[in-house]
Amino acid sequence: MRESWRWFGPNDPVSLAEIRQTGATDIVSALHDIPIGEAWPRDRIAAHKAMVEEDNASLTPLHWTVVESIPVHDDIKLAADGHGKYVAAWIKSMENLAAEGIKTICYNFMPVIDWTRTDLRYQLPSGVYALRFDQDRFAAFDLFILKRENAQADYCVDEIARAKSTFETMDAAEQAELTQTIIAGLPGRMTDAYSLDDFRAALARYAHMDHDALRANLVAFLARVLPVAEKLDVKLAIHPDDPPWDMFGLPRVICTPDDLDQLFEAAPSPCNGITLCVGTYGSRPDNDLPQMAQQFRDRIHFAHLRGVTRDPAEQRSFFEASHLDSDINMVAVIRNLVDNERALGREIFIRPDHGHLMLGDISKTSNPGYSAIGRMKGLAEIRGVIRAVSAEV
């Protein structure tokens, strides 16, 4: 497997020199400062790549090989008038990346929001901090802070009561922190932060969007993009919706194996693939990750390896656990990925995802989920499993 590491560019608190020390060989990155909907210029891509590879002649080489992500403009997801210009810009970015030899692209099709958590520093008994999604806190925000129109229709009586109780325990500062956590543009979103009014307006644009319409818009987008990807030998790897269920009244269409079956039936190109984000898909108890790693082996171009532990009473609540100690059988997932590589004769890019905030990093500034030591611990654990599984044959 190709061990990779996400790097947010020169302002990332984790430097390329530190990444090199982890033993990772491949960089997962993007041009985060270019506004959504604008094409990435080739010279900017080349400069970013040169920055990554600057010391390769004298030190252990690093290569920018995976893009995460080229954001998809909301007008594309809505099929709004004039959205074709944004599709054309997306394709131009892909062409310019391919011209620089970067041919694996992770992207997502989540409306309005990207990955969502309610706690960015949830302390575990060991003293480390994890990312957490708490359904009651989320509902409290949706119902009593955002006050989304018709939100109560999405919750049962008991859920509303729990959300109200949760909301009543929060003071103004806690409410502000929860709001900031949910809508303020987390790393990986590559979208602007919202005020509450902006957020309501963005949600309102999707008021009449259902699953079938959103899925059709995704397929229409791919119908434009995939023929070019095939000519360039670019692999597209769609990331699942995180968490993988509907939120804020928004439909989400990349959550389950059935969603993927529908996607590949509608767009069968071999360049149409997935990012197997184990933690995201594993947030649903009905997703069997070892089975998915086997079922979609021809489609897996990239894998995020992390696990989650779900709340026994409320299965939509979870915290991000250690990479090998979660509700997901990570050893079985990795074994199937290794088998896939052997069967297909190609390597898969993998990276440790969302490490714990721990040790000296607790007192440092870091992007939530992307501190150095926690991810290095995760990579070391994953690497050990890969070596052990590979040695079995």
With 50 as the cut, is the pLDDT of residue 187 above it? no
Q: Is 301 a catalytic residue?
A: no
Residues 76-105 pLDDT 10s: 999 999 999 999 999 999 999 999 999 999
Q: Which of 12, 241, 259, 353 is catalytic?
A: 353
Q: Annotated catalytic residue: which of 48, 73, 304, 323? A: 304
Count other Cβ atoms within 10 Å, centred on residue 105: 28
Q: Note the pLDDT of residue 392.
A: 86
pLDDT of residue 393: 66
Instruction: Specify the length of the chain in residues.
Output: 393
Catalytic option among 86, 277, 356, 361: 277
Residue 184 confidence class, pLDDT cut points 50, 70, 90: low
Write out pLDDT tens, residues 211-263: 999 999 999 999 999 999 999 999 999 999 999 999 999 999 999 999 999 99
Q: Which one from 86, 107, 281, 370 is the annotated catalytic residue?
A: 370
Tokens of 49: 């790549």
User: Given this model, what pLDDT does residue 188 score?
Assistant: 41
- What gap in Å lies between CA 131 and CA 123, rounded to an integer? 9
pTM score above 0.85: yes
As a whole number of angstroms, the distance between CA 200 and CA 145 comes to 11
- Quick count: other Cβ atoms within 10 Å of Cβ 363? 7
CA 143-148-152 angle, to 5 degrees, is 55
Q: Which of 83, 301, 323, 354 is catalytic?
A: 354
- Per the annotation, the verdict on 142 as an active-site residue is no
User: Residue 186 — pLDDT band, cuts 50, 70, 90?
Assistant: very low
Q: Residue 205: pLDDT above 90?
A: yes
Q: What is the mean pLDDT of the chain?
A: 95
pLDDT of residue 183: 83
Catalytic residue among 239, 301, 323, 356: 239
The CATH code for residues 2-131+207-390 is 3.20.20.150
Which amino acid is it at 112?
V
Element (H, E) at 148: none
Can you give the pLDDT at residue 191?
Answer: 43
Higher local confidence (pLDDT), 200 or 193: 200
Could you confirm whether 208 is annotated as catalytic?
Answer: no
Q: What is the pLDDT at residue 109?
A: 97
Annotate 311-338 with b (16+ C-beta within 10 A) or e (fewer): eeeeebbbbbbbbbebbbbbebbbbbbb
What span, in angstroms and rounded, lies between the C-alpha atoms of 379 and 232? 31
Residue 73: closest CA among 240, 217, 179:
217
Q: For residue 201, how far is the Cα from the chain centroid?
A: 24
The answer to whether residue 239 is catalytic is yes
| Residue 185: per-residue pLDDT | 53
Give the model confidence (pLDDT) of 261-298 as tens digits: 999 999 999 999 999 999 999 999 999 999 999 999 99
Mapped onto helix, strand or coil, the DSSP state of residue 302 is strand
Q: How many C-beta neighbours within 10 Å does residue 137 have?
A: 23
